[in-house]
Amino acid sequence: MSMGRGCAESPLRCSSQSTRGWAPDRGMPFGCFDLFAHPFSFLLPTKSDPGKALPWKTSKAAREWPVSRGVAVGLQLARALRYCHDEFMPGYRLLHRDIKPDNIGCFADGRIVLADFGLCKLWKVDSAASDDERRKLTGLTGSLRYMAPEVALQEPYNHKAEVFSFTSLLYHFLSHQKPFSWMTPDTFLADACRNGKRPLLSGKWPGDVQALMAAGWSSDSRARPEFAKVVVALEEAIGRPQSLAEVLERSKAPSSRSSAQ
DSSP 95-120: E----SGGGEEE-TTS-EEE---TT-
Walk me through the domains of the chain, giving residue ranges and CATH numbers. Answer: 38-252 (1.10.510.10)
pLDDT for res 58:
56
Q: Could you confirm whether 132 is annotated as catalytic?
A: no
Residue from 149, 102, 104 nearest 5 by CA: 102
d(CA 2, CA 8): 11
pTM as predicted: 0.76
pLDDT digits (tens, 9 = 90+) for 233-244: 999 998 877 677
Average pLDDT over the chain, rounded to an integer: 74
CB 16 within 8 A of CB 66: no
pLDDT for res 252:
63
The arithmetic mean of pLDDT across residues 15-41, rounded, is 33
Residues in the chain: 261
pLDDT for res 241:
72
Exposure string for 204-213, b = 16+ CB within 10 A, e = fewer: ebbeebeebb
Phi, psi of 245 (to 5 degrees): -60, -40
Measuring CA to CA, how many Å separate 62 from each of 10, 56, 160, 220, 237? Answer: 31, 7, 27, 31, 20
Q: How confident is the model at residue 225 (pLDDT cuts 50, 70, 90)?
A: very high
pLDDT: which is higher, 219 or 143: 219
pLDDT for res 63:
65
Range scoring the smallest mean pLDDT among 28-32, 186-190, 252-256: 28-32
User: Is a pLDDT exceeding 50 seen at residue 13?
Assistant: no
pLDDT digits (tens, 9 = 90+) for 194-205: 999 999 999 999
Percent of the chain whose pLDDT exceeds 90: 39
pLDDT for res 109:
74
Report the range out of 16-30, 70-84, 112-126 with the highest average pLDDT: 70-84
User: Is a pLDDT exceeding 90 seen at residue 167?
Assistant: yes
User: Is a pLDDT exceeding 90 seen at residue 209?
Assistant: yes
DSSP state of 165: H
pLDDT: which is higher, 244 or 149: 149
**In sequence order, which ranges of 83-206 are alpha helices (DSSP H)?**
149-152, 161-175, 185-187
CB 244 within 8 A of CB 76: yes
The arithmetic mean of pLDDT across residues 78-86, rounded, is 92
Catalytic residue of the set 98, 186, 191, 220: 98
